[in-house]
Amino acid sequence: MGNIFLFSLIVGLASALVLIPISKNKKASKKEGTQPQLKTILIGTVILLVPAVLAFYYISNLDRNFTSLWVLMILVTAAGALFATGKERMIKTVLFIGSLIVGAYFLTAFLFNADDKYEHAKMEEKVEIEAFDEKETPASVPPQFARNKMKKAFGQVPNTSYYELGNLQIQKVNGEYVYIAPVEFSGFFKWWNGDKTPGYFTLSATDSSANPKFIKEDMVYTPSAYFNKNIERHIRMQYPNHIFYGDAQLEVNDEGKPYYIRTYGEFVSARNGFTVKGIVLVNPKNGDTKSYTLADAPEFIDGAVSPEAVSLQNSYFGNYVQGFWNSKFGKSDVKLPSDEGTEANVSPIFDENGDMYYFTDFTSPKEGVDSMLGYSLTNSRTGEATYYTGNLEESYMDSRGALDIIEKKFIEKKWDGEMPVLYNFYGEASWLTPVLDSNGFLQNYFIVSAANPEISAYGNTPNDAIKKYKTALQRGGSTVDGSSDAEEKQISGTVVRVYKEKSGDYTIVSFLLDNKKSYIVSSENTPLAIYLKEGDKVNVHYMATGEAFLPVKEMVIEGLE
């Protein structure tokens, strides 16, 4: 607390010296022949100002840099110039004019630093993300569904009436993708009586049938605590000059020990804009804090860059490509980041290496257009971002368009999509979206092609939906390119079993070779496949995806060449 007292004392004393008309009080004291009044007035003014400044900064948690005083500086210098006389008034008038110039600089900075913001947010550009490895399971359990399950398991918490479920976030713990949600106090008096929260919930982010687990870990410094036990105030007391952006988030290490982190950085210019520099990490049990740069953050931290900061950077990148005024009027080359994300308008996803990224798609500022202009992935530990233009020869549907298709598909059941994320399935840019009923319970997973919305499929699990989507792609005439690490292979053999299924205008042929492996092919791509029968000798070019039914790219039936 020492720092805030000293800061308030310095501000109070400086303000008092500007406010009090020194020359006028000296003349009054000489005329009256009394003890000098200046010292008394000065002390009285300081006594009034210091508690007011201290209360403001304590309650607001504002950074205690002197640039944060610019509004107070204008008010104090204006009052000081008004009360003063003679040369003192001239001096304080100059101070007032100077404070107005500083205030105008701070107020109008957003008009002039748009180019700097864009440069800070500029992304590397690529065409398309790598194809998804279908042997993996995407972290696609929607947060609303996860939250509902945790609430239903709240009976595991001791003294349940004291608490409520805190903010949900996804991360990797011991190689598994899980949702983490702290137990928080449900009000001031509950905090007063409880003093500490009992732990947090964890739930699989890939298995919708999994049940939440309550982990007992006492936490004293939390977002729902009050006074100096409030986590954000505790961090501010330890780092009074840091510039923070985004809420404090709970992160759990591989041993299950919880920590709160908060992202800090610096203004782009004049207390406007934000760029990320690092995190402050807090042990919620004893309050121990430590600051790290992004490069030095502990390995178990997945979300070192807050989703709020990523969303802000996306806004800079999309809006300020040609400056501030263009973002308001001409809007040339402007692309608006989507607001369909699950955390501050972005959606956390994981790549094949287990690294977390924030996904956002960008759309046109023109109303009524659901065409996607591109999408971005921002590394949640480093803040490095890549913008993907997509195949420029095709027009991609944005996330809002994917949600509209789901709404129309299940209009009678009143089901809606949540958390649409763009993947590259078999070489096709595709939206994967969990579908929930009106009560927030998961019903299925829906996949639709971003370039060809008429191609879609849904299943009970993400992998089930992916398999059905592959069939839909083959039926629709698309080329199935396989996963990111699948290589094309060739094999000759004898057909042992054949199964044919009519799908629209085409036939899906599944067959088993004498090497005990199964393959699948569409008559759309290989018309002669409809004549395939047991005992035929075939030469097959397929993708080694590791799936139960390997996708065939080309097939020659001996005798039917």
Output b/e per residue, 450-466; b: 16+ Cβ within 10 A: bbbbebbbbbebbbebb
Residue 32 has pLDDT above 60, yes or no: no
Torsion angle (degrees, nearest 10) of CA 323, 328, 334, 337: 110
Least confident of 287-291, 403-407, 546-550: 546-550
DSSP 109-130: HHHH-HHHHHHHH--EEES-PP
- The neighbouring-strand residues paired with 522 are 508
Cα 262 from Cα 271, distance rounded (Å):
19
Residue 425 or 298, more confident: 298
Rg, C-alpha atoms of the chain: 31
Contact between 270 and 113 (Cβ < 8 Å): yes
Cα 544 from Cα 249, distance rounded (Å):
41
Indicate the pTM of the whole model: 0.85
- The neighbouring-strand residues paired with 459 are 445
Structure confidence at residue 35 as a pLDDT band (50, 70, 90): very low
Contact between 317 and 329 (Cβ < 8 Å): no
Helix (H, G, I), strand (E, B) or coil at 483: coil
Structure confidence at residue 471 as a pLDDT band (50, 70, 90): confident
Cα–Cα nearest to 390, from 124, 121, 125, 123 = 125
* Interval 57-109: pLDDT, tens: 999 999 999 999 999 999 999 999 999 988 999 999 999 999 999 999 999 99
**HEC string of 222-261?**
ECCCCHHHEHHHHHHHHCCCCEECCCCEEEECCCCCEEEE
Residue 34 has pLDDT above 80, yes or no: no
DSSP code of residue 346: B
* Interval 314-349: pLDDT, tens: 999 999 999 999 999 989 999 999 998 999 999 999
Q: Name the phi and psi angles at 370, rounded to 5.
A: -110, 30
Joined together, the tokens standing for residue 360 give 């956002």
Read off the amino acid at residue 58: Y
Q: Which stretches of 235-339 are assigned E, i.e. beta strand?
A: 243-244, 249-252, 258-266, 275-282, 289-293, 336-337
Cα separation of the two ends of the chain: 86
Structure confidence at residue 31 as a pLDDT band (50, 70, 90): low
Q: Give the contacts of 488 (CB within 8 A, at least 6 positions apart).
A: 482, 541, 542, 543, 544, 553
Mean pLDDT of 525-531: 88
CA–chain centroid gap for 118, Å, is 19
pLDDT given for residue 122 in this prediction: 94
Helix (H, G, I), strand (E, B) or coil at 199: strand
Mean pLDDT of 233-259: 97
Residue 388 has pLDDT above 80, yes or no: yes
Taking CA atoms, 421 is separated from 99, 448, 545, in Å, by 48, 11, 22
Report the sign of the C-alpha dihedral through residues 415, 416, 421, 424, in that order.
Answer: positive
Cα–Cα nearest to 281, from 260, 297, 266, 302 = 260
Task: Please name the residue that has the structure tokens 């569409």.
Answer: 522
DSSP code of residue 160: G
Structure confidence at residue 484 as a pLDDT band (50, 70, 90): very low
Cα 533 from Cα 500, distance rounded (Å):
10
